[in-house]
Chain A
C-alpha cells in the first residue's frame, strides 16, 4: 500500500514569507508526527496528533510554527514569517493507534530553504 507522502519535496522561500508543508499519512493510521532535521541539531520532534485529541505541541520551537490535521488524515505544517534558521528537512511520520509496536513510518520529507 501507499506510504506516507509529503509535498512539496523542496521549497525555497524568502525570509519573512509564510510556507505550508503537507503530509498525507498511511491510510488508517490515527497518529501523525512532525519532525525537523537540521544541520547541527539532528532530528527533533515538533508536534503529534492522535485522532481527535488535542495535539501535543511541546516540540514547536516558536509561535511562528503551527499545524493542523483535517478530518483526522491530512496534516499541514505552517511556518509564518520564515527565518533562515528554519531551513531544514521537515519529516512527517504516522503510526497506528493500537498494535504491538506502534511503529512509526516516515515520509520522504520536505527540504525547506529560507534565503
Chain B
C-alpha cells in the first residue's frame, strides 16, 4: 500500500525567505506526482504535476523535483510572500491505480 509522508507538518517563515517542503512515498512505481495548495475552507488548487519520467517542474516562484529511486519530492518556494500561506499537499498516482494517495500536508505561514 502506497504511503505518502510530508515533513514538516507546519512551518512558519518570515516574508522573503526561500523554503523547501518535503514529500516521501513508499512505492516508487508512480505514474505522476502532484503538489496542491489548499486555503482554509477551500478546495484544492493544483500547483505542479511531475510525470514519472521527469525530474522537475517549474511555475513562477515554485519548483518541484522528483527522485523516484529514493521516493522523494520537494517543493521549493522562492522569495516567500504572506499570500503563500496555505496548506500544501503532495499526492501520488500509482501506475496501476486511478486515485491519488495524499500526504497529510504541510501548513505554511509566511509572516509579513
Binding site for B on A (CB under 8 A): 31, 33, 35, 42-45, 48, 50, 56, 59, 91, 93, 100-109, 111
Contact = CB atoms under 8 A, between A and B. Distances in A.
Contact of A109 (B31, B32, B43, B46): B43
Contacts of A48: 98-99
B42 to A, nearest CB: 6
The SS class assigned to the B binding surface is strand
Interface of B: 31-32, 34, 36, 41-46, 49, 51, 89, 91, 93, 98-105
A74 B88 CA distance: 28
A50 B34 CA distance: 20
B98 A106 contact: no
Nearest to B93: A102
A31 B93 CA distance: 14
Given A43-B89, A100-B51, A106 B99 contact: no
